[in-house]
Every structure is written in structure tokens, then in C-alpha cells.
């Protein structure tokens, strides 16, 4: 999979609006599950009175709905087979964003069980299936991290995030800024609040604050302006746009952003300290409205991904199987060589000490005819060659020099 556009992942804000838009999928049934690529999953859904939709999930990059099913290898992976056994024919009961993280959770229900399918769209990305108590049943990639473990039979834990943009109070914003270890307010908003880069810059633009201002230098007046900007973002209605730069797709946004307004260097507006807060060079941006965010994401990411033909994918999987067999055989051959060397070494020791061993066996044979093994064990204590005596199974261990 090759991403060729500027945008490669969804921000928390975009996922917030996407989760809201996906609510019409509640009560849809999962008809079929496919795993066409290592980090991509397709859920074929049937909606009452609407027909088929395919949810395309590529972690950590994107999630969107499409009507198109790509070519794929007919052989399911182990992960795919497990998901099919558990959640095919399950009904979607809820779709939620978790804690303003880049995580979408799909609550599923079959006749017998309830499941949580968790899609992590951050870091390396992951897809996790849990039971209703969040015990992990299946995971695309197992990981052990400092604060949580993604392994089968472990309890799934969300990443820790203290602040949620859509629930943030002014006091919490103040605490976030004051305690930030970032060197610029824009980084604090992007990383500590989790807005992502473009939306952090948008907040600074709306608040008319120099984005490079250090968090320690943010004033009460700045906080008021920032909180006002946050409320403006929270009040935005979904009006998805495709952003084109020089007539080429450059971004997908859920609503209009000042970030993409044309600005001329030298005519930048200034903040309250008479410093430029926007120095974006003039860009030839145009915008195209779409009916839904899903349609915008499908158009953007489907153009930005070049998929390998199914025949090549199948060939690569066969090659991988062959390579695995070769590796296992090489490992087995090494073990056999090692075992052969050990046996040869022992044979040489026995050969070099043949006379000594022969005399010892004759001596033991005579003793065994006259005494029980319990007495033999006592008599042989301290013998210079005999290391131990097993009276029960009637054998001795001899230690010889090489």
C-alpha cells in the first residue's frame, strides 16, 4: 500500500465527525469479512432497505464506506477466519469515538454474544476484537507497551488522555497550557489536546495568537481567545470539503478552515504582541463540496492508494510460506548438526577411556552379584569416577575427562 497524498491519517476531530456520520449503520448486519492486506480489513455490511455497503479500514490511515470491493486473495488469514467465526452475521448496535482519541469502537451483537470491535487509527494502528468485558479475543498485531498490553486474553485498556476538546472547560485549558512541556502553543494544542497539526493552527488563527508562543508566556487574554476559538470549532456543522492545490487533491476537511484561506506573505495579520501569527505563503487552493465526509474520504484515499494486483499478492504470500518452511528446515538442520557433534564428542570420550570404563563395568558387575543397590550406592560414595548412583533404576553416572 502506497500513500501518495499529503494527508495520510485522520485527526481526532475528523474522526469525531466521521463517527457521527456513521450512525446510520446502526442495525446493519455484517455479511462478510475480508482481510486483503496486512493492515486492511473490509466489513461487508447489509443495511435494511438500503442494500450493501463496505467499510474499508486501513490502520493507522483511514476508515470510510465504499460500494467497491477490491480484488483480493480468496484464502482468508487466520485473523480474518477468527473474525468470521465470531462476528459474521452480527448486528451493529453502536459506533462511537473513544475519549476523543483516534479510536472508533463498533459494538456488535449476535444471538449469543456481544463484542467490541476497536479500530485504532494512531501510531502503528491496530484492530482488536474484545468480548463485552473488553477481554481481547483477537488482535491484528500483539504489542506490549509501558501502560497497556494488546495481547489475547488481556483486558483492553484505552490510551490515557486527560482532555477532550468537545468537553474541555476553560479551567482545563488553562491547566493543559500551564503544564505543557511543548515549546510552542500550537504543539501543545496538537499533541496535549490531540487536535492534530492543522486544527491546532486553525485555533491559533481564530484566536489571533502567535502559534510559536511558548505555553509559559500565554496570558489570560490569550486563554480567553483560545477558548473562544475552541467553542467556534465545537459549534461547526459538518460541511465536508475536498481541498485542491493546483487542481490536485491535497486534503479533506469536515468544514471550512481559515488555515486554507489565501494569504500573502507580508500581509499577514498580527497577534496582540504585534507578531505575525500567520505567515502562510500564497497557495492556489480551490474547494469542492461533497454530500458526506465518507464520499470525500473515499475519493481522496482511493486515489492516493495504489494496490497490488491480486495475483502478485497471492504470489508474495506463497513465497512467504516457502521462506518460512526454508527457515524452519535450516533451523532443524542446525539442531541436527549440533546434536551430531555432541554424540561424536561423547563417542570419542568413551573410545579414549575404553579401558577405564571396561574395568569399571567389570568391578560393578562383581559388586552387584554380592550386594543390593542400596549398599552399592553407599560403597561408591566418593568414587573418583562415579558422579551418582540410581538404585531404583539401577544405573550410574560417570564423569570422564575429555
List 286's β-bridge partners, or say none: 244
In CATH, what is the architecture of 12-162?
Answer: Roll (2.30)
- 162: its cell numbers: 486527560
List 129's β-bridge partners, or say none: 117, 138
Q: What angle do CA 64, 161, 292 make, to 5 degrees?
A: 20
Query: Strand, helix or coil at 38?
Result: coil
| Pick from 133, 214, 218, 134: nearest CA to 174 | 218
Q: What angle do CA 65, 71, 76 make, to 5 degrees?
A: 90
CB 109 within 8 A of CB 86: no
DSSP 8-state secondary structure symbol assigned to residue 174: H
Residue for grid cell 456488535 = 108
- 169: its cell numbers: 472547560
CB 121 within 8 A of CB 10: yes
> Is the overall model pTM greater than 0.75, yes or no?
no
CA distance 47 to 56: 16
CA distance 248 to 233: 27
* Domain 170-303 sits in CATH 1.10.8: yes
CB 199 within 8 A of CB 251: no
Element (H, E) at 125: none
From first to last of its 402 residues, what are the pLDDT tens digits of the chain? 333 336 889 999 999 999 999 999 999 999 999 998 889 999 999 998 888 999 999 999 999 999 888 777 678 899 999 999 999 999 999 999 998 899 999 999 999 999 999 999 998 999 999 999 999 999 999 988 888 899 999 999 998 888 999 999 999 999 999 999 999 999 999 999 989 889 999 999 999 999 999 999 999 999 999 999 999 999 999 999 999 988 888 899 999 999 987 443 333 455 555 554 554 554 688 999 999 999 999 999 887 544 444 555 566 567 667 767 877 787 788 788 888 888 888 888 777 777 777 777 777 777 777 777 777 777 777 676 777 777 677 777 777 776
CB 194 within 8 A of CB 180: no
| Pick from 256, 263, 237, 301: nearest CA to 8 | 301
CA distance 64 to 301: 9
Instruction: Name, in order, each residue with C-beta under 8 angstroms of 123's C-beta and a sequence gap of 6 or more.
Output: 60
Looking at residue 3, its pLDDT comes to 34
| Pick from 185, 229, 182, 179: nearest CA to 211 | 185
Q: How far is CA 127 from the centre of its chain?
A: 7
Looking at residue 314, its pLDDT comes to 61
- 373: its cell numbers: 543397590
Helices 197-207, 220-235: axis angle to 10 degrees equals 120
- 163: its cell numbers: 482532555
Amino acid at each position: 500500500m502506497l500513500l501518495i497524498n499529503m494527508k495520510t491519517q485522520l485527526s481526532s476531530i475528523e474522526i469525531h465527525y466521521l463517527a457521527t456520520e456513521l450512525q446510520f449503520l446502526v442495525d446493519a448486519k455484517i455479511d462478510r469479512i475480508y482481510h486483503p492486506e496486512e493492515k486492511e480489513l473490509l466489513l461487508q455490511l447489509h443495511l435494511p432497505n438500503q442494500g450493501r455497503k463496505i467499510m474499508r479500514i486501513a490502520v493507522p490511515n483511514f476508515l470510510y464506506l465504499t460500494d467497491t470491493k477490491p480484488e483480493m486473495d480468496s484464502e482468508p488469514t487466520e485473523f480474518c477466519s477468527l473474525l468470521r467465526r465470531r462476528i459474521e452475521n452480527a448486528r451493529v448496535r453502536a459506533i462511537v469515538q473513544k475519549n476523543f482519541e483516534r479510536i472508533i469502537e463498533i459494538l456488535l451483537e449476535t444471538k449469543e454474544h456481544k463484542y467490541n470491535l476497536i479500530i485504532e487509527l494512531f501510531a502503528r494502528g491496530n484492530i482488536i476484537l474484545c468480548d463485552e468485558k473488553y477481554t481481547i479475543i483477537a488482535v491484528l498485531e500483539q504489542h506490549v507497551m509501558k501502560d497497556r498490553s494488546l495481547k489475547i486474553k488481556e483486558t483492553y485498556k484505552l490510551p490515557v488522555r486527560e482532555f477532550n476538546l468537545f468537553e474541555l472547560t476553560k479551567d482545563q485549558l488553562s491547566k493543559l497550557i500551564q503544564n505543557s512541556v511543548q515549546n510552542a502553543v500550537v504543539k501543545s494544542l496538537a499533541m496535549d489536546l490531540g487536535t492534530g497539526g492543522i486544527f491546532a493552527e486553525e485555533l491559533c488563527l481564530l484566536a489571533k495568537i502567535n502559534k510559536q508562543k511558548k505555553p509559559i508566556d500565554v496570558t489570560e487574554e490569550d486563554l480567553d481567545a483560545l477558548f473562544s476559538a475552541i467553542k467556534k470549532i465545537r459549534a461547526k456543522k459538518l460541511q465536508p470539503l475536498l481541498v485542491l492545490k493546483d487542481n490536485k487533491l491535497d486534503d479533506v476537511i469536515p468544514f471550512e478552515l481559515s488555515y486554507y484561506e489565501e494569504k500573502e506573505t507580508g500581509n499577514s495579520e498580527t497577534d496582540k504582541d504585534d507578531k505575525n501569527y500567520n505567515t502562510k505563503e500564497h497557495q492556489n487552493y480551490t474547494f469542492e463540496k461533497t454530500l458526506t465526509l465518507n464520499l470525500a474520504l473515499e475519493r481522496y484515499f482511493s486515489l492516493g492508494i495504489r494496490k497490488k494486483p491480486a495475483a502478485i499478492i497471492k504470489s508474495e504470500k506463497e513465497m512467504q510460506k516457502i521462506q518460512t518452511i526454508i527457515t524452519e528446515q535450516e533451523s532443524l538442520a542446525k539442531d541436527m548438526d549440533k546434536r551430531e557433534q555432541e554424540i561424536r564428542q561423547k563417542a570419542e570420550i568413551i573410545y579414549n577411556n575404553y579401558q577405564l570404563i571396561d574395568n569399571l563395568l567389570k568391578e560393578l558387575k562383581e559388586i552387584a552379584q554380592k550386594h543390593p543397590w542400596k549398599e552399592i550406592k553407599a560403597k561408591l560414595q566418593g568414587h573418583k569416577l562415579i558422579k551418582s548412583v540410581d538404585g531404583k533404576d539401577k544405573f550410574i553416572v560417570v564423569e570422564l575427562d575429555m
